A and B are shown apart, each in its own frame.
Chain A
Amino acid sequence: MSTLLQVTGVSLRFGGLLAVSDVSFSIGHGEILGLIGPNGAGKTTLFNIVNGVYKVDKGTILFEGKDITNRPPNDVVHLGLSRTHQIVKPLNGMTVLENVTVGACFGRDYLSLQPARQAAMEVLERVGLADRAETSARSLTIAGKKRLEVARALAARPKLLLLDEVLAGLNPTEIEQMIQIIRGIRQSGISVFMIEHVMQAIMNLSDRIVVLSFGQKLAEGLPEEVSHDPQVIEAYLGDPDIADKLLEDA
């Protein structure tokens, strides 16, 4: 598997707090990499670093071999790296279709308006929001808004998609549907980097998992390796038998 994203030694300091400290990892083509860790570990900060919302103090980020360190988010999208937000950011005054059209218009292909609407409609079918296309984004349920986040990011036709807790706040049925959507995304050849607290889901979806704690990389490996790691259990999982439980339920 060739490398799509290569993050090397990134650090970011907020005043006195070292939010992310010397973190390195890589994502291959077609891979799903999970990112877990306790609250405040710096997971979302790491996302913000990768897509250029925050500028790093140290370290480099290569995307398809190109240096994208400290490039602004709007540039990074054009190269094929898009993301969703943990706290959903729907464009409330616009319809669902318009929201996704924005993603298609200013994404990797920089589509013009009419083809962008077509592409947006196709993405809405994919995530199961097509029948809500003409409703206002404001009126969606939280599950709908999470899907809208995914749809908007997908409409940019990314090569790598960063998913920030798209399962949080969903009920079991909605989680199951979202998992299917994520599997579909990977099948279409898009790599995924995802933050998730729903352990069962991330353990089963991810090819590999990175564990972050207090801004540092605590562990990295296959889901079963990570979940048996005593350090990870102590810092985050809490239950030594959790790995077996999680993988059994799948």
Chain B
Amino acid sequence: MSPQPPTDAAAPSRESVPSASRSAPLTSRRGGLLLHPVFWLTLVFAGLMIAVPLHGNNVALREDLILVAVAVILASNLNLMIGYTGYVNFGHIVFYGLGGYIGLYLATVRHWNLILAALTAGVSVSLLALVFGVGILRLRGAYFALATIGVLVAVNSFVANFDPFGRSEGMYVSFDAYAPLGGPMRALWITYFLVVAVMALSMILSLAIKKSKFGLGLFAIREDENAAVVLGINARVFKAIIYSVSAFLPAVAGTLMFYKNGMIDPSIAFEYMLSLEGIVMLMLGGQGTVIGAALGGGLYERLRSYLLTSPRLSNFHLVIAGGMLLLVVLFAPGGLIGWLYRLIPRARKVIE
């Protein structure tokens, strides 16, 4: 009936490469990150996201694009776990929500500078992830995935009962909290720029890790953890580090977003569905690739917004998300980028 799907998402379809190109990677990968096309693509993308809504002060477009940027941030950082290391994290949203809480608390209750609050939130959540990671990364496969759901539920319950964070009521940003940034109107633009910057950083971080020795180790773990260990990779340390790294920028983005939104409560901070949709984004675009994660995040977010706001299809978006995930997993396990690779094998060298 249906064609047998390849089991590996990154399955290349064309294998043979003429021996003339044999030494190509040894030379072409020199020159570092700054010469990499994906680096420039990221800068152009971020530049456009800033310039287009700024032109004519298009606030509606800005509000659409900030959600795209957040989706790209979540998908890119989730990609470090799922796409690079092969560990499915169902509770990735916990970093975003907890980061939002810590940052908002520092910025509004303690009156810290917004950027400092966001960075502190990022560092705190990363350290917490490191502690959790050392514990739960002993688990593999489905057991790890279950444990990540446990982390999400546990943190959610803790926050919902934690007085300084307003328990289940959450926290509100008072109007004068925007004063240091020159009032609400300007503050919204500034947070938008910052979120776009975090998005660009997420993509550049993904690229830098992918091109590094550390990234090579992660990919080895993804392919076969036992073999990786026998080849000299300290898998436990690598996994704990990447779990922690994948927490940092989402936590920073959480602070910025909830500051922008003016409020936070447990149900919007730890939106379980968004955690699952992050996986759909990744599969759609192509896990394991920088551009794939970003593309999947952006496209899925646009589709989701369209469906949520369209009167007839509202609440239908999860049905579509599920259907899409099924189709991608069955027929294009490499996502959009995997499909592109199959179409144009040379794209592999350029699009990471």
**Any chain A CB within 8 A of the CB of B217?**
yes
Contact A77–B232 (Cβ < 8 Å): yes
Q: Which residue of B lies closest to A83 (CB)?
A: B230
Contact B230–A53 (Cβ < 8 Å): yes
Contact B230–A92 (Cβ < 8 Å): no
Known: A97-B25, A114-B30. A91 touches B232 (CB 8 A): no
**Any chain A CB within 8 A of the CB of B2?**
no
Q: Which residue of A lies closest to B221 (CB)?
A: A91
Contact B15–A106 (Cβ < 8 Å): no
Give the Cβ gap from B24 to chain A, nearest Cβ, in Å.
7
Say which residue of B16, B222, B231 sits within 8 Å of A77 (CB atoms): B231
| The stretch of A62-70, A115-123, A175-183, A191-199 that contacts the partner chain | A115-123
Q: Which residue of A lies closest to B220 (CB)?
A: A102
Residues of A121-166 at the interface with B, using a CB-CB cut-off of 8 Å, are 121, 130-131, 133-136, 138-139, 152, 156
Q: Which residue of B lies closest to A162 (CB)?
A: B230
Whole-angstrom CA separation of A107 from B223 in the bound complex: 18
Q: Which residue of A lies closest to B86 (CB)?
A: A93
Most chain-A Cβ atoms within 10 A of its Cβ — which of B29, B228, B229? Answer: B229
Contact B233–A135 (Cβ < 8 Å): no
**Any chain B CB within 8 A of the CB of A105?**
yes
| B interface footprint on A72-106 (CB within 8 Å = 1, 0 otherwise) | 11100110001101000111111001100111011
Interface size class of chain A, counting residues whose CB lies under 8 Å from the partner chain: 35 or more
**Any chain A CB within 8 A of the CB of B226?**
yes
Say which residue of A53, A101, A134, A135 sits within 8 Å of B24 (CB atoms): A134
Contact B213–A73 (Cβ < 8 Å): no
**Any chain A CB within 8 A of the CB of B55?**
no
**Any chain B CB within 8 A of the CB of A51?**
yes
Contact A106–B224 (Cβ < 8 Å): no
Whole-angstrom CA separation of A135 from B14 in the bound complex: 9
Q: What would 13 more interface pairs be, CB under 8 Å, given A74-B233, A102-B220?
A: A51-B230, A74-B235, A77-B230, A92-B224, A102-B228, A102-B233, A105-B213, A113-B216, A117-B25, A135-B15, A135-B17, A138-B15, A152-B231
Of all A-B residue pairs in the complex, the 7 with the closest CB atoms, nearest first, are A106-B232, A77-B232, A91-B223, A89-B227, A139-B15, A93-B10, A134-B17
Identify the B interface with A (CB < 8 A): 8, 10-12, 15-17, 19, 21-26, 29-30, 212-213, 216-217, 219-220, 222-224, 226-235, 288
CB-defined A-B contacts under 8 Å, sample of 23? A73-B230, A73-B232, A74-B230, A74-B232, A77-B232, A89-B224, A89-B226, A89-B227, A90-B224, A91-B224, A93-B288, A101-B216, A106-B231, A107-B232, A112-B213, A113-B212, A113-B213, A113-B216, A114-B30, A116-B213, A121-B23, A131-B19, A135-B16
